[in-house]
A and B are shown apart, each in its own frame.
Chain A
Amino acid sequence: MKSGRFLRRGVLPALLLACFSLFAPVAAPAAPGALNDKFLAPVTPVAYRVQAALAEPLGEGRYSRELQQAILHNLSFLPFLEILDPAAIPGGVRLTAASGPELDFERFRLSRADNLITTLWINSRQVEMRAFEVLGGRFMFGSRFDLPDSGSVGDVADEFCAQFMEALTGRGDFFRSMITFSRKDGPRKSDIWVVKPTGGELRQITNIPGDSISPAWSHDGRFIVFGNIDSKSHALGVWDARSNRVQRLRFPGNTVIGPCFMPDNKVAVSLTDGRNPSIFLLDHSFRKEKPLINSSGIDVSPSVEASGEKMVYTSSRMGNPHIFMTDLKTGATLKISNEGTYNTDPSISPDGTLVAFARQMGGGHRIFVHDLRTGRETQVTFGPGSDEQPEFAPDSYFIAFASTRSGGRKIYLTTRHGGEARQVDTGRGDSSFPAWGLRK
């Protein structure tokens, strides 16, 4: 779909400085790979949101309308971005040029747009898309894409939006990721599915007896591991993308709970050593290698940051379930949750700075985010129903979680700052246990 970038990448610091000049005296440019916290600050009614305008496409494209709609749909998931109503722009969004000196920025300046996106169809199946910073009239980036069929529209929209988010925040992986989850498909039957976080490309990847839950994606995108519970036993399910086959591996003790991948593609999972469920490391052949966490209580739900150094998990070593973090190099352990009596389902952000978890409250569970740098704790969901199983996206910004707020259990997206939750379309049936992976 993508034939390669042909336009020189814009100067990000200049863009950010210009954007922030509307609301802050000085704004530092986003370092590569780092989130720009100004943009990703909590969204409140008085918070600043980036305003972008989407120009009408120029030229005749076979999938012009579909691509425009897909981009609008994608960008609507960014809580820090607002797409301006074309009717609010003097002269509208129909332009005579998609770039160069003839590009009219003035109408967008008058509309207080921060960014402008233009689309130019070179021919019926090839398109150029550009993003500009409006105030200074500066070019941010541009790409040319091939659209051989209607199926490529979504991929092109995803890649352009990923580049746009990357230009604004330093990370665009949200639009390059997939969510795997467990979906109830009948009595005593759940299977593992995948879907884009923005909806679409919904696909069932397992169809085996029993309940398949707690999926986790390997960092290389090849495997999804999950727990499978049938009438006889627990097992570790392993789906291999190369063969599209599922293995079911049993372990002594008959307990397999909440697997997660380590950065080196080994697996951490709770097994029973005859006493309490404890967290073990499995080798690359999914055989038990060594215990990782083995306290006097229950130890479940491991989650590991991208570097593989810090692991968070639920432990009942002090009586009630609480969130703990262990440095896997030194063994140093820290209790993370200090409020409440029932804290479970931890997820550490890939950048290792935040821990999301579920806390039992009066009317169900709610999602909290603990900042490891400051120790500050923020409630990011407020029900109704029960909000559980938070999972950080690869960008450490978005959080997927399962909630019963609409009656049945569905998957929603929020951010590390909270804000309005958005439901992910996972089709019929209850959906739960969201986990992220990058498309390969």
Chain B
Amino acid sequence: MNRFTRLTLLLALVTALFVMNGCTVGQVAKPGATGSQTLTETQAVEVLRTNPVYFAYDRYDLDTAARNDLRQKSDILKQFPRISMQIEGHCDERGTEEYNLALGERRARAVYDYLLMLGVPASQLSTHSYGKMYPAVQGNSEAAWSKNRRAEFNASR
């Protein structure tokens, strides 16, 4: 094996390692972190699943906090194109089932549209509404209701 061949093989090996590494590790900002940190794909899935987005009563517009959080999620999704994410819309217990299913869908759709606008490919996203079927918090106070009007994120590889 001459010098040229050895160099070519070494270059191919380095390229292959770089490509493999690039598929599973990304430079994204972890929520709450001050700087950019490296995430594996598994960690990215876990991060995407955290931090639901909350809504006002009978509303489906995104507030500033929700938009900031979705920007981080969009960075992760763009970094890891193999990750798909189902956006699940939920409502509090006060409304009726069928209207809440529609409202939950509208909430999930608002999140979906915003992530699309941030450049996340549609192929990575889907929506699903559960209405008021599965509250995150039991109770009949505003404290409980405010935690139940939400969009959750079911990310997977």
Max count, chain A CB within 10 A of own CB: residue among B94, B97, B103, B133: B97
- Give the distance in Å from the alpha carbon of A188 to the alpha carbon of B95 in the complex: 19
- Least Cβ–Cβ distance between B132 and chain A, in angstroms: 11
Known: A277-B105, A300-B102. A365 touches B126 (CB 8 A): no
- Give the distance in Å from the alpha carbon of A299 to the alpha carbon of B106 in the complex: 11
- Least Cβ–Cβ distance between A267 and chain B, in angstroms: 15
- Give the distance in Å from the alpha carbon of A320 to the alpha carbon of B96 in the complex: 13
- Asked if B30 lies at the interface with its beta carbon under 8 angstroms from chain A, I say no
**A257–B128 touching, CB < 8 Å:** no
Known: A276-B106, A277-B106. A298 touches B126 (CB 8 A): no
Which residue in chain B gives the minimum CB-CB distance to A365? B96
- Asked if A115 lies at the interface with its beta carbon under 8 angstroms from chain B, I say no
Q: Is the interface of B mostly helix, strand, loop or mixed?
A: mixed
Max count, chain B CB within 10 A of own CB: residue among A277, A344, A388: A277
Max count, chain B CB within 10 A of own CB: residue among A255, A365, A433: A255
- Give the distance in Å from the alpha carbon of A321 to the alpha carbon of B103 in the complex: 10
Residues of B close to A74: CB separation below 8 A: none
- Give the distance in Å from the alpha carbon of A360 to the alpha carbon of B92 in the complex: 14
Which residue in chain A gives the minimum CB-CB distance to B112? A274
Which residue in chain A gives the minimum CB-CB distance to B130? A229
Neighbour of A300 across the interface among B101, B128, B134, CB < 8 A: B101
**A272–B109 touching, CB < 8 Å:** yes
Max count, chain A CB within 10 A of own CB: residue among B95, B99, B105: B99
- Asked if A426 lies at the interface with its beta carbon under 8 angstroms from chain B, I say no
Neighbour of A321 across the interface among B99, B109, B130, B134, CB < 8 A: B99
Q: Contact residue range for chain B?
A: 20 to 34
- Least Cβ–Cβ distance between B133 and chain A, in angstroms: 6
Known: A211-B133, A234-B128, A254-B128. A272 touches B98 (CB 8 A): no
- Asked if B129 lies at the interface with its beta carbon under 8 angstroms from chain A, I say yes
- Asked if A44 lies at the interface with its beta carbon under 8 angstroms from chain B, I say no
Chain A positions 157-208 with a Cβ under 8 Å from a chain B Cβ: 188
Q: Is the interface of A mostly helix, strand, loop or mixed?
A: strand
**B128–A388 touching, CB < 8 Å:** no
- Give the distance in Å from the alpha carbon of A298 to the alpha carbon of B133 in the complex: 19
- Give the distance in Å from the alpha carbon of A301 to the alpha carbon of B95 in the complex: 14
- Least Cβ–Cβ distance between A435 and chain B, in angstroms: 12
- Asked if A348 lies at the interface with its beta carbon under 8 angstroms from chain B, I say no
- Give the distance in Å from the alpha carbon of A258 to the alpha carbon of B131 in the complex: 13
- Least Cβ–Cβ distance between A288 and chain B, in angstroms: 17
Neighbour of A301 across the interface among B58, B99, B127, B133, CB < 8 A: B99
- Asked if A270 lies at the interface with its beta carbon under 8 angstroms from chain B, I say yes
- Least Cβ–Cβ distance between A290 and chain B, in angstroms: 20
Which residue in chain B gives the minimum CB-CB distance to A232? B128
- Asked if A358 lies at the interface with its beta carbon under 8 angstroms from chain B, I say yes
Residues of A close to B109: CB separation below 8 A: 272, 275
**A258–B96 touching, CB < 8 Å:** no
- Asked if A213 lies at the interface with its beta carbon under 8 angstroms from chain B, I say yes
Which residue in chain A gives the minimum CB-CB distance to B86? A232
Known: A229-B133, A298-B103, A300-B101. A345 touches B96 (CB 8 A): yes
Residues of B close to A358: CB separation below 8 A: 96
Neighbour of A233 across the interface among B94, B102, B128, B134, CB < 8 A: B128
- Give the distance in Å from the alpha carbon of A298 to the alpha carbon of B129 in the complex: 14
- Asked if A389 lies at the interface with its beta carbon under 8 angstroms from chain B, I say yes
**B94–A360 touching, CB < 8 Å:** yes
- Give the distance in Å from the alpha carbon of A48 to the alpha carbon of B106 in the complex: 50
**A345–B133 touching, CB < 8 Å:** no
Residues of A close to B128: CB separation below 8 A: 232-234, 254
- Least Cβ–Cβ distance between B3 and chain A, in angstroms: 56
Chain B positions 28-50 with a Cβ under 8 Å from a chain A Cβ: none
- Give the distance in Å from the alpha carbon of A19 to the alpha carbon of B98 in the complex: 44
- Asked if A431 lies at the interface with its beta carbon under 8 angstroms from chain B, I say no
- Give the distance in Å from the alpha carbon of A197 to the alpha carbon of B126 in the complex: 41
- Give the distance in Å from the alpha carbon of A255 to the alpha carbon of B133 in the complex: 15
- Asked if A119 lies at the interface with its beta carbon under 8 angstroms from chain B, I say no
- Asked if A432 lies at the interface with its beta carbon under 8 angstroms from chain B, I say yes
**B96–A344 touching, CB < 8 Å:** yes
- Least Cβ–Cβ distance between B19 and chain A, in angstroms: 32
| Interface flags, B90-124, vs A, CB<8A=1, else 0 | 00001111110111011001000000000000000
Neighbour of B98 across the interface among A188, A211, A301, CB < 8 A: A301
Which residue in chain B gives the minimum CB-CB distance to A357? B96
**Complex A-B: 11 CB contacts under 8 Å:** A229-B130, A254-B128, A257-B98, A276-B106, A277-B101, A277-B105, A300-B98, A301-B98, A321-B99, A344-B98, A365-B96
Other A-B contacts than A214-B97, A214-B98, A345-B99, 10 sampled, CB-CB below 8 A, are A234-B101, A258-B101, A270-B98, A344-B99, A345-B96, A345-B98, A360-B94, A389-B97, A432-B97, A433-B97
